[in-house]
Chains A and B, each alone.
Chain A
């Protein structure tokens, strides 16, 4: 049950956290536009990774299909922005609701399984969602994707340009992290940790494990949908690739590389993954996933528990 990082932060760490928040908020004032876009992508992806960590690190449910809920959120936000309103809070609320709703149906089936079995099921379900996105032309635009998403508006002002989008993403990211932290520190979080550590015992204590797992799955799906809504607001284009393995695998890599069961670990992992895939990948002639695979294998072999445990072990 002792997993530092998600629990109560010692007070002296608040200073560090405040400094980090300030640095993130001030970053677009000093960084080049390309770096700001990359940082935005990292924040979106980090929110996805942390929501996945609620399943992988917390509840012991390794999902290899978390991109599905992210993508569903992105499609929902994009569709609402095109057909109804581009109001940023509304699109995000719809995105989170859509991600959560799909997670309810998927979770009813998936959380019956455990361990690697769960991994297979989430993978299969996500693939089916992706096929749906490719074949449901009227809503999703098929394999061309959903394009022409208008810029999100906030209080009547359109969020145009790198900096406003970045700040909006940063604000929602911070809110999402706070929500996940509150859940982790709540009795629900304790129960989930208990299920992860010893499911049979929790069951014997009278906990309805199935419902708790389903709750975790739906919350994680909903936050992933929220992150998807941010993606739609940022790139203003959603394609079936956004909800396939091309998203799910990097998200799981981010959690494993960063260290499951810690809050900042997956965020850091997300940064590593995005930098390798989008930045180093283009300089290596498009072989980002090769490098990603090598880093991943190295982490699995050499750093069980990811960077978070490696650093924690040293201090």
Chain B
């Protein structure tokens, strides 16, 4: 194995794991924005809610039952919150997209403050469930099993989302709504129902990502803003409403976050900004945005 790869294998794998987590988070943001033009700034708070649910339900040393219960609870809370946000922004549908984004920002402020009131300002660490909490030797390096399973889960979810969006009739509806919402409405589909469903699914994924991310990031104040910004950069790089774009963007940002930091240390922020600027200058709508569509 080349020396360079040997040195940075751990960073590469970490980047892959974080990229997979970011994909689960960003896909909901991307589809909701791509389909409905609603930028959900509460997406980061949903992630943090999932992380806190993992800590409060499963505890610092979760059992499998606790961990799965936390995932189920996060899915339920996420779906409910998504539906509420969807109905809330629907009332502003006649106003500008900015007003809808601002509404989600206000909701995010309220929710973040409620969370910090409920759970305090400490960062709570959560261990992986039993069986996944150890390390295995990988090419002579110890590597946490949990992160490997995160990669597996993330790739499986990416495959599932890709299959649903590209191969099922629900996915056809989603793609059609991204491409031309008025036409979908004109052929008799109630786009408000589609919106509620997509919003709920996207929020569910964000909250579940929070549970899955808890053993990596823990749960604490400020995490919501940090992951929201990473998800936004993923979506901007990948292109709105594109599953492939979200996956590629997430994997790129995952590597920048880990390998970039390992290679350039203090300059990692510039690398992130540089990647963003480069993509926007070369392809202003993102790497995988549909070219036939204009959007303001």
How many Å from the CB of B253 to the closest CB on chain A?
Answer: 11
Q: Which residues of B contact A304 (CB under 8 A)?
A: 95, 99
Q: Which residues of B contact A245 (CB under 8 A)?
A: 225
Interface size class of A (residues with CB under 8 A): 35 or more
Interface size class of B (residues with CB under 8 A): 35 or more
Contacting residue for A121 out of B95, B112, B236, CB 8 A: B236
Interface residues of A in 42-84 (CB under 8 A from B): 62, 64
Mask of A261-279 contacts with B, CB within 8 angstroms, 1/0: 0000000000000000000
Mask of B36-58 contacts with A, CB within 8 angstroms, 1/0: 01010000000000000000000
Interface residues of A in 130-145 (CB under 8 A from B): 131-132, 135-136
Contacting residue for B229 out of A112, A127, A296, CB 8 A: A127
Contacting residue for A292 out of B109, B225, B273, B296, CB 8 A: B109
Q: Which residues of B contact A287 (CB under 8 A)?
A: 113, 117
Residue A178 lies at the interface, judged by CB distance under 8 Å to chain B: no
Residue A124 lies at the interface, judged by CB distance under 8 Å to chain B: yes
Choose among A114, A131, A292 the residue with the greatest number of B CB atoms under 10 Å from its CB: A131
Question: How many A-B contacts if CB must be within 8 Å?
Answer: 102
Mask of A8-19 contacts with B, CB within 8 angstroms, 1/0: 000000000000
Choose among B37, B95, B269, B284 the residue with the greatest number of A CB atoms under 10 Å from its CB: B269
Q: Which residues of A contact B103 (CB under 8 A)?
A: 297, 300-301
Residue B281 lies at the interface, judged by CB distance under 8 Å to chain A: yes
Residue A183 lies at the interface, judged by CB distance under 8 Å to chain B: no
Do A300 and B37 touch across chains, with their CB atoms under 8 A apart?
no
Contacting residue for B97 out of A112, A115, A297, CB 8 A: A115
Do A124 and B276 touch across chains, with their CB atoms under 8 A apart?
yes
Closest to B271 in A: A128
Interface residues of B (CB under 8 A from A): 33, 37, 39, 91-92, 95-99, 101-103, 105-110, 112-114, 117, 225-226, 229, 232-233, 235-236, 266, 268-270, 272-273, 276-277, 280-281, 284, 296
